[in-house]
Amino acid sequence: MGAWSRLVTRFDTAFDAIRSWDQRAVVAVSEYPPLRRVSRLFVTASYLGDGYLWGGLGLGLILFGQPADRVNVLIGVGITIVNVAIFRFLKALVARRRPETNDAKARFRSVDSYALPSGHATTSFGLAWLVSQFYPNPAAIVLVYAAAATIAFSRVFVRDHYPMDVIAGACLGTLSSALLLPFFRWVF
């Protein structure tokens, strides 16, 4: 067996181990009794992650903020549009199916059947990173990252995503926002 074959075999073994962990983790999270007691919190977070939380924050900044806040909202909207395009492209490219569920009502809101990367995590962490750059107040940073993490975790809890989907989405949103911010600051 050559060096290339050994490398491919190791990669396949590692990938299989990660996929197996991912499948066990989604079941463990969604069925963990202490989390089941606060299931409304996670279902609500999942709904708020559809854009209501971040849209409300943006609307508040537009209505009650300064002119610089309105520019920040425009930058956030622009970067979020790009993030949505990126995660939609990657979902179609990767085509990873969402977790299996026995709950017939669980998928009534899903707009597609693909899971990787999580769009909720991509947009939430992308916007959380932007808020941390625009408003470097420690309390604001903790608050937006706690909201983003809760939204991302909720997607695993409601079995719409595997943990690696939300981790990939969080990384993607943060990275793309960091790379796009200089361009959007130049535009606006």
* Per-domain boundaries in the chain: 38-97+111-187
Task: Decide if 153 contacts 170 (C-beta within 8 A).
Answer: no
The string of pLDDT tens digits covering residues 57-66 is: 899 999 998 9
pLDDT higher for 114 or 81? Answer: 81
The neighbouring-strand residues paired with 114 are 97
Q: Which pLDDT score, from 0 to 100, does residue 129 have?
A: 95
Burial class (CB in 10 A: 0-12, 13-18, 19+), 33: exposed
The string of pLDDT tens digits covering residues 118-134 is: 989 999 999 999 999 99
Return mean pLDDT, the chain. Answer: 86
